[in-house]
Amino acid sequence: MSRNFRHWPLHQKVVLMPAHHLRVGKYTLSGTEDFFDPAFAIQHNDGNLTSVLYYVSHNTKNIDSNVTQTTVVMKDDVYPLEVKLCYISYVKENIIKTWTEIVHQEKKPVTINRYASSMLYFEAPKYYLTEFSGDWAKEVNMSNQQLQFGKKIIDSKLGSRAAMYAQPFFQLGLGQPVQEGQGTVMLGTIGWTGNFQFTFEIDNASNLRVISGINPFLSNYELKPNEVFTTPEFIFTISEEGTGKASRNFHSWARDYQLKDGKGDRLTLLNNWEATYFGFDEPKLEELMKDAKNLGVDMFLLDDGWFANKYPRNSDKQGLGDWDVTKEKLPNGVPHLVKAAKDAGVKFGIWIEPEMVNPKSELFEKHPEWAIHLPNRERYYYRNQLVLDLSNPKVQDYVFEVVDKLMIENPEIAFFKWDCNSPITNVYSFYLKDKQNNLYVDHVRGVYNVFKRVNEKYPNIPMMLCSGGGGRCDYEALKYFTEFWCSDNTDPIERIFIQWGFSQFFPSKAMDAHVTSWNSRTSVKFRTDVAFMCKLGFDIRLNEMKEDDLKYCQNAVANYNRLKKVILDGDLYRLVSPYESNHMSVMHVSPAKDKAVLYAYDVYPRYSEKLYPVKLQGLDPAKMYKVEEINLMPNQNSGLKANGKVFSGDFLMKAGLDVFTTRQANSRIIEITAQ
C-alpha cells in the first residue's frame, strides 16, 4: 500500500481551449498521488497497478482552414507504455472531439481497468448538471441539479446500445444553472454505441472533474502488446450564450462533419409498422404503396415481419436471424415489392434487425454459439431475443451479408431501418472464451466493423438507426446513419418533450418523427405539426382517415417538401420551453435569414391563461418579413392576427407574435418570408 502514497510527479495537464472556466484537460492516473476518480488505470505484467505518464511531445496539424488536430504524446518512464491524447477542433462550430490512444510493449498483455476518452477540469463557483434520463417510450427527460462535493455518475450497462435509462449526453452550467439564452454552458456527448460513463466529481479544491468514456463495468480490458486501444470520441462545446447557441454549434458540426450524408436531403416516408404490425401480405403492401404516393411522400418503408420460413416472423417471438423472405406471406419476394413500389411511384425501404436472434430460429439452431448467452445458466430474454456476438468476425460477416444479400438481389432498395431491440442480457461470449472482460468493448467494435463495411460498399444509401425507440442516439453510429428514430412514443404531447430533449444535441434532419395513431384524441393536424419540425414520416392507416384529415396531410407533405431545406438545414432557435410553460415554440431560420418556419404548440393551457407573444430569434432586424400560417385544415381560416402581414425582423424579434391559444393540443405552423 505504501507505494501508492509516495509522491509522484504531477500528472500531465493539457491546455485545451481558452474558455475561461475550463482550466485544463487532465488525464489523471490511479494509485499515486491523486485521490479522486482516475481517467486511466492499468495492471502491468509484474502486477504493478500504477503508471506515471510524462509529457514527451505534441504536434498540431491543420486539416483544413477550419479543422485542426492536436496530439499530445505521454510515456511512462518505467514501463513501455504510451498514451496519446488526441483533439480535433472545429473552429467555426466551436466543437472539440477528443479521444485517447493507449499502446504498450510489455511482454504479455496488460489489463487496462480505466481508459477514459477525456477528462476535463473546470473551475467555477458553482456547477449545475442537466441530465437526460427515461426509459423505453419516455426518452430524454431533462432534469437539473446542483453538483456538490463528491461524485455523480451517469452511465449505462446495456451492451448493444448506449441509451435506455440515461442518454449519452449532458449539459453543464458553470456558475449558474443551464439556460437557453445566456450563461456559460458546456454540452458533451460520447460517440459509443454501448456502455458509457460520465463521472462528475467535485474535488477538495472545489474544482469539477468530468471523466467521459466507455463504462469500465465488467470490462478490465486485456490489451495485447503493440495493439492500439483507441477510445471512443468525446465531443463537446462551450458556449457563453447558453444552450441555444451550443445546440446550434452541435447541429452545424453534425451536418458538416459527422452525420452520414449530413449535407444531403432526407426522404419522407410511409411506414407500415403501426398500420399493419405483422399482419400483411402482398396486396395489402401494394395498397399502402399507393397510399404513400397519394400522400405525396418519397418512400414506402416495410417494417418487421417479412422474413423467416421455418419459424415465420408472425410475432416477435420467432424468426429473427432467418433473413429469407416468408414465402407464404410474400410469394414473389422482395424484388416484387421493390417493383410494386416503383410502379406506385415511390421508393422502397426495408426494416432489418441483423444483430439479433430469436432462439426459435434456424440461425440459433445452427449456431447457438453465435449468440451472447450463458452456457450454464437459465437464459433471460429481452423481447424474446438474444444479441449476436459481434466480437466474433464470423458473426460480423453474417450480419454484413444480411444487408449485402438484400442489396445484391435488390439494388434499388433505397433505405434501411436498422433496428436493435435487445440489450445484452446474459453476458458471455463463446468466442472470447477466457477473455470475457473484453466482450462489452469488442462487441461494439464488431458492430462498427459491420457498419463500416456496409457504408464502404453502399455509401449512398440512407439508413435509420433504431433501437426499441431511441436507444441508439450517439454520434459514432451516426457516422454510418443518416438519422435515428427518437422514440416509439409518438404521442404528440410526449414527442414535444422528446424532440425538445434530443434537439439539444441533434439537428432536425437526424431526428425521425412519424405521424401515428398514438393519442388519437389529438387531431391529425396536431400530430403532423409536431412531427413537422423533424424528419417527417407517417405510420398510420391512411385509408381510415377522414377526407379532410387526408387532404390536410397531403397539403402538409407538400409544404414540408417546399420548406425542407429550412427545416432540415436551418438554424434552430428554441423559443418557449414545454418544461417552463404550457406551450412550446421553436423556429428554423435559413442561413441567409430569408426564410423561417415557426412552430407553436399549445400543450395543456390553463383556463383563461394569460398568453404572451413569442419573440422570434435569428432573423435579420433590417429585413421585412411576411408572416403566413400554413398547414391549415381544409376550410380553416387562420386565427393568427398577423397572418398575411409584413413586419420587420426587428419587430418580430422585439415585440413578437401572438401565436399561442388556450386550446389544448393545438398547433400553428407559420412560414416567414423575407420580402
Rounded CA separation 314/357 (Å): 15
Nearest CB to ligand GLA, comparing residues 359 and 469: 469
The amino acid occupying position 182 is Q
Residue 218 backbone zone (phi > 0: left; psi -120 to 50: alpha; other: beta) = left
Interface residues with ligand GLA (CB under 6 A) are 273, 303-304, 316, 351, 419, 421, 466, 468-469, 485, 488
CB of 421 to ligand GLA, least distance (A): 5
* Neighbour tally for 88: CB within 10 Å: 18
Q: In what order do the strands lie in the sheet with 646-648?
A: 571-576, 583-589, 595-602, 666-674, 624-630, 646-648
Q: Are 480 and 229 in contact (CB under 8 A)?
A: no
Nearest CB to ligand GLA, comparing residues 128 and 280: 280
Nearest CB to ligand GLA, comparing residues 298 and 419: 419
Nearest CB to ligand GLA, comparing residues 285 and 576: 285
Nearest CB to ligand GLA, comparing residues 488 and 529: 488
Nearest in space to 619 (alpha carbons), one of 642, 659, 592: 592
CB of 344 to ligand GLA, least distance (A): 22
Rounded CA separation 454/473 (Å): 19
CB of 278 to ligand GLA, least distance (A): 8
CB of 514 to ligand GLA, least distance (A): 9
Q: For strand 535-538 and strand 269-271, is the pairing parallel, antiparallel, or unpaired?
A: parallel
The amino acid occupying position 93 is E
CB of 305 to ligand GLA, least distance (A): 7
Q: Are 533 and 566 in contact (CB under 8 A)?
A: no
Which helix H or strand E contains 271, and what residues bound it?
Answer: strand 269-271
Nearest CB to ligand GLA, comparing residues 275 and 603: 275
Q: Using CA atoms of 574, 579, 585, 591 in order, give the dihedral in degrees to the nearest 10.
A: 10
CB of 314 to ligand GLA, least distance (A): 12
Nearest in space to 530 (alpha carbons), one of 566, 565, 571, 489: 489
Nearest CB to ligand GLA, comparing residues 317 and 445: 317
CB of 403 to ligand GLA, least distance (A): 16
Nearest CB to ligand GLA, comparing residues 304 and 629: 304
Nearest CB to ligand GLA, comparing residues 117 and 516: 516
Q: Following DSSP, what letter does each residue of 400-415 receive, concatenated?
A: HHHHHHHHHH-TTEEE
Nearest in space to 314 (alpha carbons), one of 327, 304, 303: 304
Q: Are 454 and 398 in contact (CB under 8 A)?
A: no
Nearest CB to ligand GLA, comparing residues 320 and 672: 320
CB of 420 to ligand GLA, least distance (A): 9
Which residue number places its CB atom closest to ligand GLA?
A: 304
CB of 200 to ligand GLA, least distance (A): 31
Q: Are 306 and 330 in contact (CB under 8 A)?
A: yes
Q: Are 88 and 68 in contact (CB under 8 A)?
A: yes
Q: Are 624 and 674 in contact (CB under 8 A)?
A: yes
CB of 306 to ligand GLA, least distance (A): 11
Q: Are 583 and 601 in contact (CB under 8 A)?
A: yes
Nearest CB to ligand GLA, comparing residues 45 and 315: 315
291-295 contact pairs (CB < 8 A, 24+): 291/542, 291/543, 292/341, 292/344, 292/346, 293/344, 293/345, 293/346, 294/542, 294/554, 295/270, 295/538, 295/542, 295/550, 295/553, 295/554, 295/557
Nearest CB to ligand GLA, comparing residues 237 and 272: 272
Nearest CB to ligand GLA, comparing residues 118 and 422: 422
CB of 646 to ligand GLA, least distance (A): 43
CB of 494 to ligand GLA, least distance (A): 15
Rounded CA separation 524/553 (Å): 8
Q: Following DSSP, what letter does each residue of 413-473 receive, concatenated?
A: EEEEEE-------S---TTTTT-GGGHHHHHHHHHHHHHHHHHHH-TT--EEE-BTTBS--
CB of 498 to ligand GLA, least distance (A): 13
